[in-house]
Structures are given as C-alpha cells and as structure tokens.
Amino acid sequence: MATITFDGIEVEVPDNSTILQAARKIGGSVVPPAMCYYEPLKGSGGKCRACLVKVTAGSAKDPRPMPKLVASCITPVQDGMIVENTLNEEVLKTRKGIVEFLLINHPLDCPICDQAGECDLQNFAFEHGTVAQRYEEERRTYDMVDIGPYIKLHMNRCILCYRCVYTADQLTNKRVHGVLNRGDHSEIGTYIANSIDNDFSGNVIDVCPVGALTDKTFRFKNRVWFTKPVDAHRDCPTCSGKVVLWYRGADVLRVTARKNAYNEVEEFICNTCRFDKKATSDWVIDGPRKIDQASVISQNQYAQNTVIPAFTKTVTEGYTEVNDTLPEHKQLAAKN
Amino acid sequence: MQLSNRSKKMVVKPMTLKERMYLPAIAAGLGITIKHFFRKKPTIRYPEVKREFSPVFRGLHVLKRDDLGRERCTACGLCAVACPAEAITMISAERKKGEEGLYREEKYAEVYEINMLRCIFCGLCEHACPKAAIYLQPDVMAPAFYSREEVIYGKDRLVENADKRANAGLDRVNGVRKLS
C-alpha cells in the first residue's frame, strides 16, 4: 500500500495504482478530467493530456518535484507522493490550453450532434475551457462514413483517444478498424470500406467520449435531455443484459450500457440488446436511472431521480447551529 | 381606545349657507368636465390607428431563413429546454440529398410547434438559439384566436416567407452578430 497526498487530502491506495485512481478514490471535484483514459480498458490513457497534474514531491525517499506536469492516468503512485491538481495554477492554466488543442479540429456542431448533453468534451470545455478560440486555419474535414448497419463515424469530431480501438481489441477477437496515418493526418477508419459486424461492436458508441461514433438507430431521433433514462435488464445469452433504456413517451429510443460517475461503462452489452430490443416488453424494468443534478438530462426529472452534487452534501452536513453561550457569539448578538 | 397619537381628530361642523346651496360645487364640477372636451384625447382608435411598439417588444415568433433562403433551425432543442412554459416541441429529421437549398444543416426540424396559449413571450428561446433561427418579432403581435387548434403554431405559420422577410434578427448575418 502507498499513501499519497492529493490536493491536500491523504489517501491510501494499493501499489501500482495510478494517481488518477487515487484521486477517484477521494472522489468529488478534485478528480482530474479524463478524455482518453477508460478504466475497463487495459492500456488506455496517456493520449489526451486532460488529466495532467503537478507532482510536488516524487516520493518519501526522493522528495524532489517532477520537472514537468505528468499525466495522472498513467503515472503510478509512490509512497509519500504529493500531488496538486485543483490547487495548482499551472495545472489549471495548462488544462485551458489542452481544451483549446482538443477543439482545434473539433467542429462546433453540438446543435446537430447526438452526443450533446452527455459529451465528455462538452463537459471538459465547459469546466476548463475559455470562451473564445484563437485558431484561424482550416479545420481538417472528412466525410461521414457508415461503418456497418448500426454505427456512423463522424471523423471530424474525433479527438483520437483510441478508446474504440482498445474496445475492439479487448472485447472482440478480430478488430477491423484502427487509426490510419500519422500526426495531424491520423484518422479512425476501416481502411477499405469494411463494416464492423461483431456482436459487441456497438460498445464503441458508448466508449466514444465525443460524437464521433454514434448510434444510427438513434440518429437525430431526439435530444438526449428530452429522453428519460430507465434501468432495465433481460436474460441475454451473450452479455449481462443490464442496460439503460432511454424513453420518449412510451417508446424506447435508445439502449445503452450503464455508466458510472466517470462515464465509464460498467458492463459491456451486446448488439442484440443495444439495437434490436427496443420494446418495453423485451425488458424487466429496474426503476429510473439516477442522473446528476448538474446534468442537462436531469431536466424534467423528479427530484428523487437526481444525484445531488457532493459539495451541497458537505455544506449541509457541516452546518451547525449557532451556539449563543459562546462569548464571541454573545458579542455578535449584542452588536446587532 | 387610543392606539397612537397620530390619528386625526375629525371635527364635523354644520354646513354654511353657500355649501348648502350646492350650486357653486355643481358649476365647478361642470367646468372640469367641459375643460376635458378641448383637451387632446389619449384614446388610440385601435384598428385604424396603431400604437408604436417599444424597440424591445417581443411579439409573434418567426423561424428565420438565411441569406440563401435556407431554414436556419437545426432542431437542436435548446429553445425547448430553455422554455419556462414548455411551449415548444419539435421532431427532427435528416436532410436528404437534393435538399441542401432548403435546410442549412444536415439536421432540420420536420415538425416545430409553439403553443401560443402556453407561451409567455419571455424571449428565452431567442437567447438560447445557437443558430439565430428563432426570433420574437418586434412588430407583429400574436393574433386573437377562436379555437384551440389555431393556437398551436406549426412550421407553416412560423417559418418566414422567403420573399417577404420578417423584420427581426436583421443585426445578424448567418447567425453571427454583425460587428458595428
């Protein structure tokens, strides 16, 4: 076990875990954002630089600071490490720059994009970005591609996080898509118009942090925040069958896997569950899905279906009645 | 019972002869009435004469077209989520090949309805619109209605006429505010 100090909070984590995992153990607003790291996928992380943190002391044995900001998702912890995230000006300033870099080629088509409302990049830019952009050059553009009957690829929106590549590698036995070319010319593709028809291929839609890979059966059907998420399950021979149904009225518009607080899929689901079972009679309803109160999806939800943010809880729990017997309070009362 | 010493004491005196005759009071009252005959009348005779609108007046909605006559609305749903009265509903559709002259973006509103009974003309939809598509016109009022079906405005009545442009959103070109 190693004990590290993250943003002034001590936390004990197993050896070989990363700084990001330690931060997630604390939870709340100190957790660095992650655009490419995806806990269920092995080898992911280290690409988007969104999770950069400052290590002010490397370890108890060697307390020198690390010279540069490090990516917290791939840097292992060491006993006695001191890490700064939200407390460090340099980190916050760098993160603004990272947003600007990620948005260089990302089109501003959120009004059209089906991911809007549950998009990691939208949240990241909203929390850490600046309003204006300085980039004046032509953006790289690609045509939309249909990969398979269910998935649409908008290469314009891709931020090259490699999550979908890892998903295909680790969930399926034969990957047919990958990243072609290098540097600024990199693109996700199947090289020769190939279609992805593996039984678990639909999961690339869920892991995509932006709207680059979208569900064709949900395409332009409705905005995410007008649909109501409901937990449901069914006996599926190929997957766990635990999903979220997104309702509009009585219709199931979309089926997705269940995601945790960091937008990571808990259990991957198969294409049959995702694309073919779109009737309420196919499912056993477990109850409404809890949605973060700060999310736009919590619009028109009942209060008990929303998750109240952590800071509100700490404020209400930390509230104490004013003790009038204390001398300083008596003085205050006398003044008023 | 005296509650405070601020109350006024009423003294009722008997009326004098002049007061009891009432005639001077009647003449004074008539004088006021006759004076008003020659004053400027504040009444606006509505159908013939129309009152000038305030420059920030928010009237009937319009869905604008861009310079090339294409519909600006992409059915992003931000107006509907911003609407405090939940008056706006829409169904989106994908633009097909050959419809590029009709709709500006690859997605458009197939159905766009505003319930004018619900609408409170707050203008939040106009603020929320990222494409500068919806405006509350500064010079057109929502007309009176005779049946409830009339109050639900569809695209047939909301989208502006390509030949006769609405007098709203003129400070914006293709959704971007013109710098003055």
CB atoms B106 and A225 under 8 Å: no
B118 part of a folded domain? yes
For residues A164 and A229, state if they share a domain. Answer: no
pLDDT digits (tens), chain A, 336 positions: 999 999 999 999 999 999 999 999 988 888 999 999 999 999 999 999 999 999 999 999 999 999 999 999 999 999 999 999 999 999 999 999 999 999 999 998 999 999 999 999 999 999 998 888 888 888 889 988 888 888 999 999 999 999 999 998 898 887 888 888 888 888 888 766 667 778 888 999 999 999 999 999 999 999 999 999 999 999 999 999 999 999 998 999 999 999 998 999 999 999 999 999 999 999 999 999 988 888 888 887 787 888 877 666 667 777 777 677 777 777 777 776
CB atoms A111 and B80 under 8 Å: no
Strands A291-292 and A306-307: parallel
pLDDT score, position B176: 52
Residue showing tokens 């890979």: A213
B162 at interface of A, judged by CB pairs closer than 8 A: no
A61, A79, A102 - which closes a domain: A102
For residues A126 and A213, state if they share a domain. Answer: yes
CB atoms A223 and B76 under 8 Å: yes
Question: How many angstroms away from the CA of B92 is the closest CA of chain A?
Answer: 6
The per-residue pLDDT for range B90-124, each reduced to its tens digit, is 999 999 989 999 999 899 999 999 999 999 999 99
B23 part of a folded domain? no
For residues A204 and A243, state if they share a domain. Answer: no
CATH classification of the domain holding A202: 3.30.70.20
A217 at interface of B, judged by CB pairs closer than 8 A: no
The per-residue pLDDT for range B61-99, each reduced to its tens digit, is 999 998 888 999 999 999 999 999 999 999 999 999 899
CB atoms A112 and B80 under 8 Å: no
CB atoms A226 and B94 under 8 Å: no
A177, A200, A220 - which closes a domain: A220
Mutate to test the interface with B, among A118, A223, A225, A253 (most CBs of B within 10 A): A223
Strands A213-215 and A284-288: unpaired
Give the end-to-end CA distance of chain B in Å, rounded to a whole number: 70
Mutate to test the interface with A, among B92, B96, B104, B125 (most CBs of A within 10 A): B92
State the total domains in chain A: 3
- Please, which residues have CB within 8 angstroms of residue A22's CB and are 6 or more apart in sequence? A4, A6, A11, A13, A77, A83
For residues A97 and A110, state if they share a domain. Answer: no
B54 part of a folded domain? no
Helix (H) or strand (E) holding A126: helix A120-128
Record the tokens describing residue A254, joined without a space. Answer: 């979309």
A102, A125, A148 - which closes a domain: A102
pLDDT score, position B164: 84
Tell me which residue range forms the domain holding B154. Answer: 61-175
Closest-CA residue of chain A to B82: A299
How far, rounded to the nearest angstrom, does the alpha carbon of residue A71 sit from its chain's CA centroid? 16
B72 at interface of A, judged by CB pairs closer than 8 A: no
Closest-CA residue of chain B to A221: B92
For residues A167 and A269, state if they share a domain. Answer: no
For residues A46 and A145, state if they share a domain. Answer: no
For residues A15 and A82, state if they share a domain. Answer: yes
Closest-CA residue of chain A to B109: A220
- Among the partner residues B81, B93, B105, nearest to A299 by beta-carbon distance: B81
At B96, give phi and psi (nearest 5°): -95, 170
Residue A246's SS3 state is strand
Total CB pairs under 8 A between chain A and B: 35
A49 at interface of B, judged by CB pairs closer than 8 A: no
B119 part of a folded domain? yes
Question: How many angstroms away from the CA of B76 is the closest CA of chain A?
Answer: 5
pLDDT score, position B9: 83
State the total domains in chain B: 1
For residues A96 and A153, state if they share a domain. Answer: no
Record the tokens describing residue A303, joined without a space. Answer: 């209060």
pLDDT score, position A88: 92
Q: Report the share of chain B in percent with pLDDT over 90.
A: 55
Mutate to test the interface with A, among B83, B91, B107, B134 (most CBs of A within 10 A): B107
B90 at interface of A, judged by CB pairs closer than 8 A: no
Q: How many helices (H) and strands (E) does chain A have?
A: 8, 16
CB atoms A223 and B77 under 8 Å: yes
- Please, which residues have CB within 8 angstroms of residue A128's CB and are 6 or more apart in sequence? A33, A92, A95, A96, A98, A99
CB atoms A296 and B81 under 8 Å: yes
The per-residue pLDDT for range A20-63, each reduced to its tens digit, is 999 999 888 889 999 999 999 999 999 999 999 999 999 999 99
pLDDT score, position A98: 94
CB atoms A223 and B74 under 8 Å: no
For residues A171 and A194, state if they share a domain. Answer: yes
pLDDT(B6) > 80 = yes
Question: Which is more confidently placed, B165 or A274?
Answer: A274
pLDDT(B131) > 70 = yes
The arithmetic mean of pLDDT across residues B139-153, rounded, is 91
pLDDT score, position B180: 40
Among B residues 25-64, those touching chain A with beta carbons less than 8 Å apart: none
Helix (H) or strand (E) holding B63: strand B61-63
CB atoms A226 and B80 under 8 Å: yes
CATH classification of the domain holding B116: 3.30.70.3270
B133 at interface of A, judged by CB pairs closer than 8 A: no
Closest-CA residue of chain A to B129: A111
* pTM (two decimals): 0.82
Contacts with A219 from chain B: Cβ below 8 Å: 94
B112 part of a folded domain? yes
pLDDT score, position A301: 78
At A6, give phi and psi (nearest 5°): -115, 115
Tell me which residue range forms the domain holding A119. Answer: 106-220
Contacts made by residues A318-323, CB under 8 angstroms, sequence distance 24+: none
Closest CA to A233 of A198, A199, A267, A197: A267
